[in-house]
Chain A
């Protein structure tokens, strides 16, 4: 079956622009996660959705970052007024609702801020 799909796979933009990153989870997965991974680093948690609600937004680094999920499916991560330090790979994962279930990851969006 289809896995987690992220788009675009690569995004290059100028500092100060807004960007939107999209995640299509596996059908039926109610839990959805966003992570950020800088070069050679581990995964930095950003936000977690259960259905359309986000019980844990603790990882969003600033108010320039926001995310939403509609219809319990597609999620969009928006970064406003991008800065060079926002350059990273943004990974999305989905899982069935129980906390210890494996997370299924997309291949990420590589974001480069010039």
Chain B
């Protein structure tokens, strides 16, 4: 069955460092992968999308990579700030299916 694993449930880093979050998947061939941010008590908010034929996407301090051979996506936040503290979710989908499948998320804490 399909499985999505996000690295450790919690990641703690110092302000100014780069945070790297991992999303691994098995038994799945996604056409695209999305990253969302979720704050406590709120719904997820879309951050970035990367398609299977793209290696890397950037948006401001965010960078996403997608390696379909390794079946892995890496999500980087450079020059991290305490305001980046949140839970980050990856979601995978196929173009012939309406739904996306979400990972359990990684909770990032950036300490001043």
A residues with a Cβ closer than 8 A to B are 4, 31, 33, 35, 40-43, 45, 48, 50, 55-56, 59, 91, 93, 99-100, 102-108
Smallest Cβ-Cβ distance to B41: which chain A residue: A107
Select A100's contact among B31, B41, B45, B101, beta carbons within 8 Å.
Answer: B31
B76 contacts chain A at the CB level, 8 A cutoff: no
Question: B98 touching A43 by the CB < 8 A rule?
Answer: no
Select A99's contact among B44, B89, B98, beta carbons within 8 Å.
Answer: B98
Shortest A11–chain B CB gap in Å is 15
B61 contacts chain A at the CB level, 8 A cutoff: no
Question: B46 touching A42 by the CB < 8 A rule?
Answer: no
Q: In terms of DSSP, what is the predominant structure of the interface of chain B? A: loop
Select A56's contact among B32, B98, B104, beta carbons within 8 Å.
Answer: B98
Q: Given contacts A42-B89, A42-B104, A43-B89, are A105 and B44 in contact (CB under 8 A)?
A: yes
Name the interface size band of chain B: 20 to 34
Question: A45 touching B95 by the CB < 8 A rule?
Answer: no
Smallest Cβ-Cβ distance to A104: which chain B residue: B46
Question: A100 touching B98 by the CB < 8 A rule?
Answer: no
B83 contacts chain A at the CB level, 8 A cutoff: no
Shortest B41–chain A CB gap in Å is 7
Shortest B93–chain A CB gap in Å is 6
The answer for the CA separation of A102 and B89 in the assembled complex, in Å, is: 13
Select A33's contact among B32, B89, B99, beta carbons within 8 Å.
Answer: B99
* B104 proximity list for chain A (CB < 8 A): 41-42
Question: B102 touching A43 by the CB < 8 A rule?
Answer: yes
Q: List 12 A-B contacts (CB under 8 A).
A: A41-B104, A43-B91, A56-B97, A91-B43, A99-B96, A100-B32, A100-B51, A102-B46, A103-B44, A105-B43, A106-B43, A107-B43
The answer for the CA separation of A103 and B46 in the assembled complex, in Å, is: 7
The answer for the CA separation of A55 and B99 in the assembled complex, in Å, is: 10
